[in-house]
Structure 1
Amino acid sequence: MTLTATRPATRAAATARPRRTGRRWPLVALLAVLSVLTVSPFLAMFVVALSPAGEPTLPTRWPSALTFDNIAHVLSTSGFLQWTLNSLVYSAVSVVIILLTASMAGYAFAKKRFPGRDAMLWTFLATMMVPFQATLIPTYVLVSDLGGVDTFWGLIVPTLANSQAVFLMRQFILGLPDELFEAAKVDGASELRVYWTIVVPLTRPILATLGVFVFLWHWNDFLWPLVIGQSDATRTLTVGLTILRTEELQLSLLMASAAVSVLPCLLVFFLLQRYLVNSIAMTGLK
């Protein structure tokens, strides 16, 4: 009786599985098409960048050969390496300082009790509603009066007050159990030790995610570096690329410069993608 009762159920389950798989094919095909449409501009950029100079290439025809001469020519262009180094300094220093200050502020807003905490938090978050263009002129006048024009500190400091980063850190730290912090206090740990031994290790996924976002924000930033950087000593890569566009360069050279500017972003993403996935998984569990 048991065998005869289970055999039909097993056959029904076996016949139902292919149907479920068959129903997913349209979704898989749609996602594949969207992926190709998303990646194709980047592939076209790299193909044009590697095409021989002066030879017809995409979208008219496929290049006859691929070469790195355009990239070598762009790297040897006066000021290009300096612009790239300036962008790396601008992005890396901003990432380190913003992650440090945002994690400290997020910990204070999430786990500390002090007068005016909520009012301070919501006032700080209200600055997210104000576009940067509205405060561009007052910020420039202030930095100029302090002698920060065409300097790295004038380029970096005004962008460090990141309310979105503080908000993300606060929301993540709110999910951490209070018992951990209470146990650390009972053991006599100082606030700095609690932050360094509990908050920082447990927030690594969100720190990595936020680090990628902050790096991309600053690497692609254009308006503030354009206003504050007035020489090659502080000019970033995004501003330098606009200078190259004003010159009569071939399309392959412009695409080579764009391809070089994209590589650091891809490298940062591939290095930290494991933490990005962990952050999404932990957020889903919460």
Structure 2
Amino acid sequence: MTLTADRTAATSSPTAPVRPRPPRRWPLTVLLGMVAVLTVSPFLVMLVVALSPAGEPTVPTAWPRTLTFDNIVQTLSVSGFTRWTLNSVIYALVSVVITLLTASMAGYAFAKKRFPGRDALMWAFVATLMVPFQATLIPMFVLISNFGGVDTFWGLIVPTLANSQAVFLMRQFIRDLPDELFDAAKVDGASEWRIYWRIVLPLTRPILATLGVFVFLWHWNDFLWPHVMAQSDEMRTLTVGLATLRSEGVPLATVMASATVSVVPCLLVFALLQRYLVNSIAMTGLK
């Protein structure tokens, strides 16, 4: 009787909720770790070769016994390295500022303005993304050459300012902004320039920072167009200058040290704008 009563009580008592077993995430963690190691390994090899003393193997099979900064010091003393770095800074920064201004203006017009042929013009502009840059390289060079832009900063910068991808991203971001803000500004008598400067630019700061990072990296690492336009050593960018070092018989360790120094500005730009990148991703998720 007692055993039966105990079984009945156990059956009638409410059972404790069963906690779901947490999913196994270690396979994904291992896979992501392997991808991260494969991604970082070329940069580690570059850094090891750059810090290896003279006489070490060019492709290290193990961590060097001693590390030295002699190669980096020698890089800074290479003829033309300072000029190449300055050219890359001018090429990247000027392109970023003008591209962000023009892309935000065009994105605002395509997103909030109504005019005949707006959608057709927008998609025709986006369709240029499917045309590879190599297909327009020769016609663009001939056009810039006829205007006397070869071996000049404006000939290097102007053809890269029409960034259809930046315009498309700005248009998609501005289109989700509430129309009531713009209507209220128009009721208050704000001009189009004031609406753009006081409403559009502050609200699009996250996407502007994201595009700024992408445009800077693209121009900083650009090689083909600067290589075609730079006819003299004084107009070479850093990427073109580094490519010429090996042909001049410069040791591989010095070339790797130069490449290591060229990565520093990219890391600084990403570190300074990382907060805006996170905000841009978060706002995109909320939308």
Aligned 1:60-71 pairs, distance under 5 A: 60-71=61-72
How many residue pairs were aligned?
277
CA contact (8 A) 2:49 2:60 kept: no
Question: Which residue number corresponds to residue 81 of structure 1?
Answer: 82
Question: Which residue number corresponds to residue 36 of structure 1?
Answer: 37
CA contact (8 A) 1:95 1:214 kept: yes
Alignment of 1:170 with 2:171, yes or no, is yes
Question: Which residue number corresponds to residue 8 of structure 1?
Answer: 16
Alignment of 1:203 with 2:204, yes or no, is yes
C-alpha displacement of 1:61 = 2.8
RMSD: 1.8
Question: Which residue number corresponds to residue 265 of structure 1?
Answer: 266
The ranges of structure 1 where at least 4 consecutive aligned residues each deviate by more than 6 angstroms after the TM superposition are: 4-7
Question: Which residue number corresponds to residue 94 of structure 1?
Answer: 95
Alignment of 1:20 with 2:22, yes or no, is yes
Aligned 1:239-250 pairs, distance under 5 A: 239-250=240-251
Question: Which residue number corresponds to residue 224 of structure 1?
Answer: 225
CA contact (8 A) 2:151 2:230 kept: yes
Q: Distance in 2 between matches of 1:143 and 1:251?
A: 35
User: 1:25-55, CA deviations, whole angstroms, 9 ceiling, x for partnerless residues?
Assistant: 2222222222222112212211211111222
Structure 2: 5+ residue stretches without partners: 1-11
C-alpha displacement of 1:57 = 6.2
C-alpha displacement of 1:233 = 2.2
Q: Distance in 2 between matches of 1:41 and 1:189?
A: 53
| 1:216–1:84 Cα change, 3 Å | same
C-alpha displacement of 1:59 = 2.8
Q: Distance in 2 between matches of 1:137 and 1:56?
A: 41
C-alpha displacement of 1:261 = 1.3
CA contact (8 A) 2:151 2:232 kept: yes
Question: Which residue number corresponds to residue 59 of structure 1?
Answer: 60
C-alpha displacement of 1:248 = 2.1
Q: Distance in 2 between matches of 1:24 and 1:126?
A: 41
Question: Which residue number corresponds to residue 115 of structure 1?
Answer: 116
Given residue 113 of structure 1, which amino acid in structure 2 is its aligned partner? R
Q: Distance in 1 between matches of 2:160 and 2:104?
A: 16
C-alpha displacement of 1:249 = 2.6
User: 1:192-241, CA deviations, whole angstroms, 9 ceiling, x for partnerless residues?
Assistant: 11111111111111101101110111111111111111112211011111
| TM-score (norm: length of structure 1) | 0.92
Question: Which residue number corresponds to residue 159 of structure 1?
Answer: 160
Q: Distance in 2 between matches of 1:159 and 1:219?
A: 12
Q: Distance in 2 between matches of 1:266 and 1:183?
A: 41
Q: Distance in 2 between matches of 1:62 and 1:283?
A: 43
Fraction of identical pairs, as percent: 75
C-alpha displacement of 1:86 = 0.3
CA contact (8 A) 1:204 1:275 kept: yes
C-alpha displacement of 1:242 = 1.0
Given residue 93 of structure 2, which amino acid in structure 1 is its aligned partner? A
C-alpha displacement of 1:126 = 1.9
Q: Distance in 2 between matches of 1:235 and 1:59?
A: 30
Question: Which residue number corresponds to residue 234 of structure 2?
Answer: 233
Structure 1 or 2, whichever has the larger Rg, is 2
Question: Which residue number corresponds to residue 188 of structure 1?
Answer: 189
**3-state secondary structure, aligned to 1:233:** helix
Given residue 20 of structure 1, which amino acid in structure 2 is its aligned partner? P
